[in-house]
Amino acid sequence: MATTTLGGVLRYPDTFPHDPPHGHPVRFLAWLAARQAWLLLGAMVVAALNFVALALTPYLLGEAIDAGLEQGATAELWRYAGLLLALGAVTAVAAAVRHVAEVANWMRAAFTCSDMLGKHVTRTGDQVTRKLATGEVVATVATDAVHMGNLMESLPMFVGGLVSYLVIAGLLLQQSLILGVAVLVGLPLVTAAVAVLVPPLQRRQARHREATGELTSLASDTVSGLRVLRGIGGEDVFAARYREQSQAVRRAGVGVANTQSILAALQVLLPGLFVVGVVWFGANLAIAGEITVGQLVAFYGYTAFLAEPLRQVSQFIQFLTRALVAARRISRVLAVTPAAGRLGDADADADPLPLEGEVALRDPGSGVVIRRGLLTVLVSPTPETSAAVLRRLARLDDAESAGVTIADLPIVHQPLAAMRRTVVLSDATPQLFTGTLRHEVDVLDSGNQLRVVESLAVADARDVLESIPGGLDGEITEKGRSLSGGQRQRVALARATFTGAPVLLLVEPTSAVDAHTESRIAINLKRHRAGLTTVVVTASPLVLEHADEVVFLDATGVRTHGSHRVLLQRAQDGDPAAMDYRRVVTRRNDTEEVTDAAACR
């Protein structure tokens, strides 16, 4: 994940005022259920009504049969028929409303988790990929949220089944104590027999989930490094690794499917055998005259119906095991904290920090001092040294930026939201996202088309505007693959300059463009950022020529500073630090310089 921080780009409304618990899956599931408590409660009431209506149907049917056998087609029989019709209507309406409520619960839970994970990953930046594999994060966002939705969808059905079970228990015990006890004891035993398969199913699901995450990580790494792999002939090696991991996922999936198939078979077989046993037992009681024919029919109806609550219990257990595995994965992602500030700090509304005084930023670790309102260029024999200074100045990691000051105040003590609107960093490999060119540049969603065009002009990116069908409304593909390397770099520069941040930090913003374009960009940037603070990491003389101040540093800190021409003059006068600077910017060693000097003489 690129460490590109643009003011306003990562700003999201805080839709989660209470941080979800992490580290324990049960607590997370309880938190998620509490967020949609009223929706769940309503679904439970409707599900209970639906199941109770279904449970009462055998009772009314049995009473109607007994009334018909004893009295014939009397008014009482018609009364029972009318009650059955009304109960059927209630069942139909309740079933329809229940289904709508279940879908609403699924969507609320799944989308809440997906939205929350997306925002959390965005807020924590590259800290997530430091602690978790990219594939693991992708798999968590893509699949685990679905399991949360399945659990919340099945919970009302589970509760409704339990309520109907209690209603039937009362009816059974009222009509026949022996048969009622047999049914009420037998069904829990059947459920317990089915539940024996739950622990191995959960273990196999966890292994399958782990293997899927590793496969996603491998695929992501392979695709991102495909060009390099082709260059060194490593495609076959990585293809073999992918095949091997795919087979591991397949084997784990087969193990899960085997357990689930046995569980599904038992869900049909055991209740079926139980119904047969109840019918046989009830028939003997009816022959003995202990229960009526209508009661026998009712008992059969109860037993057949109770297979549905049993199925709901078994299904809920399956969803719960998957949700526990998924919640554990989600908790691992949510446990990642941002390197700078606290979670959500950057989302608050804040104005840029007031920059007063001569010094805008100071990095005691390297000795770099950035003066306010100037275009400063950092030069180093190893560009990563200069880039590391800019990352500290941008406060991407509070531990690394502990000694940095902004306007002579500790940078880590400033509100992070204000920092993100004051200091903007565009790293060496900024990411572009899928969308229109307009939205790619207008990161503040200002709708100011003139400002977008102006920013593209500063980055000398008008050719990008002309080459994309649709102009500003033309689509940019994922990661800007439809653009060349130089075009991607210039669109990223336009995006950074669009923010108008008081302090703009740019790492190698012109490394992928030709000399003429680089020269124009340097001139445009100097003009456009007049009066604002701009820091650039580069060793290009075309940019250095327009710098107000050049700072030359190495791993030990600042070696020398001054304008580009002053440093070259010092090098000619024999200043060792300036001579090192000249070797870096001219890319020539001492032998070549002596040879050229002799040739001139």
DSSP 388-432: HHHHHHTTS-TTTTTT-EETTEEGGGS-HHHHHHHEEEE-SS---
Q: Which residue has the higher pLDDT, 598 or 112?
A: 112
**Band (273; pLDDT cuts 50, 70, 90):** confident
**For 502, which DSSP code?**
S
For residue 10, give both structure tokens: 């990562």
Q: Do 25-334 and 346-430+500-562 show the same overall fold?
A: no
pLDDT, tens only, 275-298: 777 778 777 777 777 777 777 777
As a whole number, mean pLDDT of residues 6-26 equals 49
**By the 8 A CB rule, do 452 and 472 touch?**
yes
> Would you tell me how many other CB atoms lie within 10 Å of the CB of residue 37?
9
In percent, the amount of the chain with pLDDT more than 90 equals 29
Q: Comparing 94-98, 334-338, 479-483, 597-601, which segment has the lowest mean pLDDT?
A: 597-601
CA distance 102 to 107: 9
Bridge pairing between strands 359-363 and 405-406: antiparallel
Length of the chain: 601
**Class assignment of domain 346-430+500-562?**
alpha beta
**Amino acid at residue number 375:** L
**pLDDT confidence band for 18 (50 / 70 / 90):** very low
| Cα–Cα dist 573/273, whole Å | 101
Question: 23 falls in which pLDDT band (50, 70, 90)?
Answer: low
pLDDT computed for residue 322 by the predictor: 81
CB 537 within 8 A of CB 370: no
Written in H, E and C, the secondary structure of 426-458 is: ECCCCCCCCEEHHHHHCCCCCCCHHHHHHHHHH
More confidently predicted of 1 and 518:
518
User: Which CA distances in Å does 294 have to 87, 282, 283?
Assistant: 18, 11, 11
Q: How far apart are CA 492 and CA 220, in angstroms?
A: 23
Confidence of residue 546 (pLDDT cuts 50, 70, 90): very high
DSSP designation for 532: S
**pLDDT(496) > 90:** yes
Q: What is the pLDDT of residue 115?
A: 85
212/427: higher pLDDT: 427
- Give the pair of three-digit tokens for residue 302: 């109860």
Full strand arrangement of the beta sheet holding 409-410: 368-371, 359-363, 405-406, 409-410
CA–CA dist 402, 508 (Å, integer) = 25
pLDDT value of position 9? 32
Question: Residue 277, Cβ neighbours under 10 Å: how many?
Answer: 14
What the block records as the tokens of 146 is 């679905």
The class that CATH gives domain 25-334 is mainly alpha
Please state the domain extents for the chain.
25-334, 346-430+500-562
330, 207 in Cβ contact below 8 A? no
pLDDT computed for residue 4 by the predictor: 35
pLDDT at residue 213, as a whole number: 64
Is 1 a residue whose pLDDT tops 60? no
Instruction: Supply 240's token pair.
Output: 């073999």
